[in-house]
């Protein structure tokens, strides 16, 4: 049974509280929060006030995915706004080890995200430091994109790296997740699934979450 982390990027921003309550009452495990800066990715989502407003009503783990450059300067602010997991992009961090220590020092769980083209080998040395690896199965920046099939093999490969090192690092996958791609990902070793448009674009989001939860 995978951890289900609905992406709030696809919620109705005019009804954030309603959608947060829907997730609270559903079988979802986490809230996935996408922060975009218009520099690392060609899109801007939302920042601290919106995250803090969501956190105020959310009764589950806040899984924050930063698609921003220079995350170090905002780590403490994300903690204040309610983040439990803070995931940064490998591609955005020159001194990744330092960034990871900063996140841990603030008392948060730490994740590193990899773009579709970034090989797993870049994590070789840092893997034991991580609570989570986020495999991007689309190019980050937008919801509703097509799943990149090579991600399934990437998850399986990462799973064997984690098992070989006897680690407890979670594998999360983000982008184009639905019941079909989700089933393949769980089989390959994914522990957590992010789903945005598949959940919020469905007629009954809570039921869609329950179906994903059964994978």
Residues marked active site are found at 34, 174
The region of 40-48, 77-85, 152-160, 170-178 touching Zn ion under the rule CB under 5 A is 170-178
- Least Cβ distance, residue 166 to Zn ion (angstroms): 28
The region of 46-54, 94-102, 124-132, 171-179 touching ligand DX5 under the rule CB under 6 A is 171-179
The region of 29-37, 46-54, 88-96, 199-207 touching Zn ion under the rule CB under 5 A is 29-37
Strands 3-6, 192-195: pairing kind: parallel
Does residue 154 interact with Zn ion by CB under 5 A?
A: no
Does residue 65 interact with Zn ion by CB under 5 A?
A: yes
- Applying CB under 5 A, among 75, 174, 193, 199 the residue interacting with Zn ion is 174
- Applying CB under 6 A, among 198, 208, 212, 215 the residue interacting with ligand DX5 is 198
């Amino acid at each position: 049974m995978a951890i289900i982390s609905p992406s709030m990027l696809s919620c109705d921003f005019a009804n954030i509280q309603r959608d947060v309550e829907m997730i609270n009452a559903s079988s979802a495990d986490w809230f996935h929060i996408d922060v975009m800066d218009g520099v690392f990715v060609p899109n801007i989502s939302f920042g601290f006030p919106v995250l803090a407003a969501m956190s105020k009503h959310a009764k589950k783990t806040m899984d924050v995915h930063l698609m921003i450059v220079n995350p170090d300067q905002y780590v403490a602010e994300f903690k204040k706004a309610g983040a439990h997991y803070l995931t940064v992009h490998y591609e955005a961090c020159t001194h990744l080890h330092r960034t990871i220590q900063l996140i841990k020092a603030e008392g948060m769980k730490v994740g590193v995200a990899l773009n579709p083209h970034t090989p797993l080998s870049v994590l070789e040395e840092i893997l034991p430091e991580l609570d989570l690896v986020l495999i991007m199965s689309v190019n980050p920046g937008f919801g509703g994109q097509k799943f990149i099939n090579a991600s399934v093999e990437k998850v399986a490969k990462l799973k064997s790296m984690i098992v070989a090192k006897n680690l407890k690092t979670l594998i999360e996958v983000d982008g184009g997740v639905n019941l079909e791609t989700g089933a393949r990902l769980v089989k390959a070793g994914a522990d957590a699934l992010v789903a945005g448009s598949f959940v919020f674009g469905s007629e009954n989001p809570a039921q869609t979450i329950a179906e994903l939860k059964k994978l």
